[in-house]
Amino acid sequence: MCVSCGYRAIFSPEPVAATIPRDEAGRIWLLRRALHEGAGRWTFPGGFVDLGESVEDAARREAREELEIDIELDGLVGVYSRAEERTVLVVFAARALGIARETKEAIEVRAFAPEQLPWNELAFWSTEQALRDVLG
């Protein structure tokens, strides 16, 4: 708070919506990030929720933008946050309605069987935790 004018700024975490899309064989579609934090590492599609957009709609949009696939949401996997981070990640299980393709945000895409997931190459702590949660 500014003592001279009384202006007060409030900083809140930003919501991020993500999905863990699976194909008919149960494989999980992941992308190797091309941009920003975690570039060159694997994660599932996700991104910031826009003002005026539901978390579910943001999750669907991000799958289309990053993997060029439509998805059907299957339910909430979990909500992930840490006090020292600026985001709150909401992750849904999803069914992939097509075959993912590389995009400007994904330099590589691949459907992994659960036992073949690249655990040592994941982009974020929350990527690992959500994958472990969805696999139960």
Q: Are 91 and 18 in contact (CB under 8 A)?
A: yes
Q: What are the contacts of 32-36 at 24+ separation with CB within 8 A?
A: 32/106, 32/107, 32/108, 32/109, 33/105, 33/106, 33/107, 33/123, 34/103, 34/104, 34/105, 34/106, 34/107, 35/104, 35/105
Domains and CATH numbers, the chain: 14-135 (3.90.79.10)
- pLDDT digit string (tens) for the chain, length 136 residues: 788 888 888 788 999 999 999 999 999 999 999 988 899 999 999 999 999 999 999 999 999 999 999 999 999 999 999 999 999 999 999 999 999 999 999 999 999 999 999 999 999 999 999 999 999 9
19-54 pLDDT, tens digit each: 999 999 999 999 999 988 899 999 999 999 999 999
Tokens standing for 58? Answer: 């943001």
Residue 96: φ, ψ to 5°: -75, 130
CA distance 9 to 12: 10
H-helix or E-strand spanning residue 92? strand 87-96
CA distance 96 to 75: 14
What pLDDT does residue 34 have?
93
What pLDDT does residue 76 have?
98
